[in-house]
Each structure stands twice: as C-alpha cells, then as structure tokens.
Structure 1
Amino acid sequence: MKRSIFLAAGLLLLNLTASRVFSQTTQDTTKKTTQDTTKAAAPAVEGASDVVGALASNADYSTALTAVKAAKLDSVLKVGGPYTIFAPHNNAFNALPAGKLDSLLKDPVKLGALLKGHVVMGKYGKKEIIAALKAGKGKAAVTTLDGQTLTLSLAGSKLQITNAAGSSAQVTLFDLVGANGIVNGINGILMPK
C-alpha cells in the first residue's frame, strides 16, 4: 500500500513537472515566433515586383523614389538585376542646401549621375554584407552602376559606406526586398567629385 502511494505521488509529481515544462516551452516558442515574425515583417517586402517597388514601399524614402523617377532610372531598375540601392532617407535630401534638390530634379542627367553612385549590381542585403565584411577583414568594396567604388566598413557598430570622393553615410535600414534586388536605407547622400 505504501508503495502504491509513493508510486502515485511520483506520477503526480512527474505529471506536474511535465506540464510546467510543456507550458514554458509553448510560451517561449510563441514569444520567439512572435518576435521573429515581427522582426522579419518590418523591413521585408517580399511581394514587391522589382527594386523600385521595394523603394516605393517605405514612405521614408519617397524623395529617393521621386529622384529615381525624375532621372528616368526607374525604367533601368525595373528590369535585369539583381540591384542593390543604397537609398538616402528623406531627411538626407532635406539636409541639402536650399534649392539644391529642386535644381537636381530639373536636371535628369546630373541627377542620374548622382543616383547611379548609390546603385550597385548584385544583391547586398544584411547577410551578404556581413559575409563580405568578414571575408575582407572589416572592409568590402562594391562597384556602382557608373563604375565608382563604394567601400563598406564598420564605424563602431554601424555600417558605413564611403565613395571615391570621400562622401560617406551610414546604413540605417536593411533589406527592403524586391523581385530583382534590395534597398538598404542610408542617412546621407553620397556626393560625387
């Protein structure tokens, strides 16, 4: 009889422990899945038809989109690829001297030259950039549509991009995905020589 009581108590204790572990695992899994889904859903635009559509998906880069269209670069970026656009945030365009943006928008050739310095051939999302930086021991070089070299490096914990003229900006947003490329947001404009 004593043995039966101990056996029943042991089974009850085992059942309670298993229930707690299962409950904790379920809560952790739900919490982790929710966090992972939230992180993934914020920057990714899996359904964008092209890299221009990915750029259009985020209102913080609407000035860059307007500039791409004004330079008639959108027709180039909608086909072929893959492309990576390092798109200046609206605040970067707002920081230009008074009248500079209007002047650029009225000169598609000059604007196109500026913007081509922000577009590279190839897919350089966060994962690919990290791999390139590891392979290059902290630095990586990519070539823009107009043949310039952009140097990628770490400035503290931020990814910094510097062009041949010495103009630099930091990446503030990764991986807006389009069918033929990726948009990464930057906090400045890479001015040419």
Structure 2
Amino acid sequence: MKRSIFLAAGLLLLNLTTSRVFAQTTQDTTKKTTQDTAKAVTPAVEGASDVVGALASNADYSNALIAVKAAKLDSVLKTGGPYTIFAPHNNSLTTSKLDSLQKDPAKLASILKGHVVSGKYGKKEIVAALKAGKGKAVVTTLDGQTLTLSLAGSKLQITNAAGSSAQVTLFDLIGANGIVDGINGVLLPK
C-alpha cells in the first residue's frame, strides 16, 4: 500500500513538473515568435524610405507614380519635406490621359504640383486642422496655390482654386519624409 501511495505521489509530481516545463517552453517560444514577428513588421509600420516610395507601395496609384517620374518631380519629393501628396487613383488618371500629359512634361509638372503640399497631412492632422478651422482648412501646394479641405457629408473633400474637387479615399501611406493620401479625381488648374 505504501508503495502505491509513493508511486502515485511520484507520478503526480513528475506530471506537474513536466507540465510546468512544457508550459514555460511554450510561453518562451510564443514570446520569441511574437518578438520576431514584431521586428519583421516594424519597417512596414514605419513606412517607405520617402514619399515617392510610399506612393509606389500601393498599385492603385501607379499612374500617379508614373506621372511623378515623367514630370521629374521624384527627385524633388525624395528629399526635403515633409510633403503630402494627394494622389489620384488609377481610375481617375487613365493611361490614355497620362500618355497625353507625358507629351508636355511642364504641364504635367504643373498639374502634379497642385496635388502636393508642404507639411504632413495624414488623417490625424487633417481632422485636427478641420476642427481648428470649424470644418474647413486651407493648405498651400508646391506651386503656391491653395487647396481647401472640407467635409462633404462624411467624406473629406479637397477643392483647388479653380473649383476642381475630389474626395479622399485613402489615408496615410507613410514615407520617411511625408504621407500619401489617395483621392478619386484629378485637381485640374484653371
């Protein structure tokens, strides 16, 4: 009988010890895996190396990226800043329209400068500017024009001095020197 009790107590002790060791090993492995995953995700959270890289990070804005490069604005936007690009979605800047604009790089550059502002205007900053301006905010583009930000229903609308407008459809593609916000139209000058 004593042997049975000692044997049962020994098995119970062995079982508890094994369970604790296994649980500790599993917890350490989970911590390590979580830490390794967090390290792997960190560069994506921090954003692209620059605002042009942020623009390149989303294929829905590839025509805007092509236009920036064709107008030779990429070299300007890769340095300095911070910048915010209000990038037209591919649906609003068709390949045929882009092809015609590429034939006149000066005109293309002028149109694109009307989509870029100095300063960082992600969603958080835009909301703060709208609150401060009681529903409106005005920002200045690289070519010295103004863009008025306002709410149209629940959507953020951007209107340039010529009256051309578009709505923001994507916020916060982050680059080291700025942000890209996607819009559903092209802001054409006068």
Does the 8 Å CA contact 1:82/1:181 hold for their aligned counterparts?
A: yes
**Aligned 1:1-193 pairs, distance under 5 A:** 46-94=46-94, 99-193=96-190
Cα distance per residue 1:96-147 (max 9 Å; x no partner)? 9xx5321201211110000000000000000000000000000000000000
> TM-score, normalized by length of structure 2?
0.75
Aligned length: 148
In structure 2, the CA distance between the partners of 1:104 and 1:127, relative to structure 1 (3 Å rule), is same
Contact kept in structure 2, 1:45 and 1:178, CA below 8 Å: no
CA-based RMSD of the aligned residues comes to: 1.4
8 Å Cα contact 1:45/1:54 also seen in 2: no
Unaligned runs of 5+ in 1: 1-40
User: In structure 1, what is the Cα distance between the partners aligned to 2:162 and 2:45?
Assistant: 32
Cα deviations across residues 30-75 of structure 1 (Å, max 9, x unaligned)? xxxxxxxxxxx9xx75230000000000000000000000000000
Answer yes or no: is the 8 Å Cα contact 2:47–2:173 preserved in 1.
Answer: no
Q: Please state whether the residue corresponding to 1:142 is helix, strand or coil.
A: strand
Identity %: 86
Give the match's secondary structure for 2:149. strand
- Whole-Å separation in 1 of the counterparts to 2:136 and 2:158: 10
Q: Using a 3 Å threshold, how does the CA distance of structure 1 residues 81 and 119 change in structure 2: closer, same or farther?
A: same
2:153 and 2:126 map into 1 onto residues whose CA distance is 16
Against the structure 1 CA distance between its residues 57 and 45, is the aligned structure 2 distance closer, same or farther, given a 3 Å change threshold?
farther
- CA–CA separation in structure 2 for the residues paired with 1:149 and 1:87: 16
Q: Structure 1 stretches (4+) deviating beyond 2 angstroms?
A: 44-47
- Contact 1:45–1:176 (CA under 8 A) maintained in structure 2: no
The answer to whether the 8 A contact 1:60-1:90 is kept is yes
Amino acid in structure 2 at the alignment position of 1:133? L
Residues 45 and 57 in structure 1, CA contact (< 8 A), matched pair in contact too: no
